[in-house]
Amino acid sequence: GESVGLHLPTLSVQEGDNSIINCAYSNSASDYFIWYKQESGKGPQFIIDIRSNMDKRQGQRVTVLLNKTVKHLSLQIAATQPGDSAVYFCAETPNSGNTPLVFGKGTRLSVIA
Amino acid sequence: DAGVIQSPRHEVTEMGQEVTLRCKPISGHNSLFWYRQTMMRGLELLIYFNNNVPIDDSGMPEDRFSAKMPNASFSTLKIQPSEPRDSAVYFCASREHFQETQYFGPGTRLLVL
């Protein structure tokens, strides 16, 4: 029979365009947020992180925005490339430094060449 | 640094057999995490260790699953007896003590027939 699995949100973007991947979190006590990229057949890889005392943090071609008021996190990828195609996970944790990250379900990014 | 090392990368076994997955965390990291990833459930935390001591094993599905960390550089996840529903990708991750960022290994893809 047909298997039922997680229906990951999918974002399709034209190569060269900017991508925005969104994530909502529920724990108002969360103090640290992180984005991971998981390519097919590989483990999740760290992209960028941000603490709750910041609203924005930039890396190379990536920017993370944090809106604590509405508990929303976003990852912006500039000039999206085919190599950016992957599943992207957000994760959060309270600032205890000793508890595991809590992962979201993930968003699949497909880059159209 | 070699990163988190997992072995084997792929495992195919028959129902009822014992399966042992192995993980070597990044040197100097004090915390180690075992995750399972499936299409149905996404990324699930099974158990984690701080300083070789199991802290939370509430994610372990049932008594067939066990994990050990005999020293700071080695951990095992054992399934005995294995069942087809255990088929998944199992990830190990590590991090430095009191740091939030977790670093993942490449995973072990397990297929139980």
Integer-rounded Cα Rg, in Å, for chain B is 13
- Between the alpha carbon of residue A47 and those of residues A8, A33, A36, A79, A81, the distances in Å are 19, 11, 5, 16, 15
- To the nearest whole Å, the CA of A51 is away from the closest chain B CA by 10
pLDDT tens profile B57-110: 999 988 999 999 999 999 999 999 999 999 999 999 999 987 889 999 999 999
Contact B50, B31 (CB under 8 A): yes
* Terminal C-alpha separation, chain B: 36
Query: Which pLDDT value is given to residue A38?
Result: 97
pLDDT tens profile B1-60: 689 999 999 999 999 999 999 999 999 999 999 999 998 888 999 999 999 999 999 999
The interface residues of chain B toward chain A in range 2-21, judged by CB-CB distance below 8 A, are 4
Sheet holding B65-71, edge to edge: B5-7, B19-24, B74-79, B65-71
The interface residues of chain A toward chain B in range 15-54, judged by CB-CB distance below 8 A, are 32, 34, 36, 42-46, 49
Query: What 3-state class would DSSP assign to A82?
Result: helix
Please check whether residue B41 touches A, CB under 8 A: yes
Tokens linked to B80: 């005995």
Nearest chain B residue to A32, by CA: B100
Best of A53, A64, A99, A108 to substitute, by most chain B Cβ atoms within 10 angstroms, is A99
Please check whether residue B83 touches A, CB under 8 A: no
- To the nearest whole Å, the CA of A109 is away from the closest chain B CA by 16
SS3 content of chain B, % helix, strand, coil (to 5): 5, 55, 40
- Cβ separation of B91 and A43 shorter than 8 Å? yes
- Between the alpha carbon of residue B80 and those of residues A24, A44, B11, B19, the distances in Å are 38, 27, 14, 7
Q: For residue A19, is pLDDT > 70?
A: yes
Query: Which pLDDT value is given to residue A3?
Result: 41
Phi, psi of A97 (to 5 degrees): 70, 5
Count CB atoms within 10 A of the CB of residue A53: 9
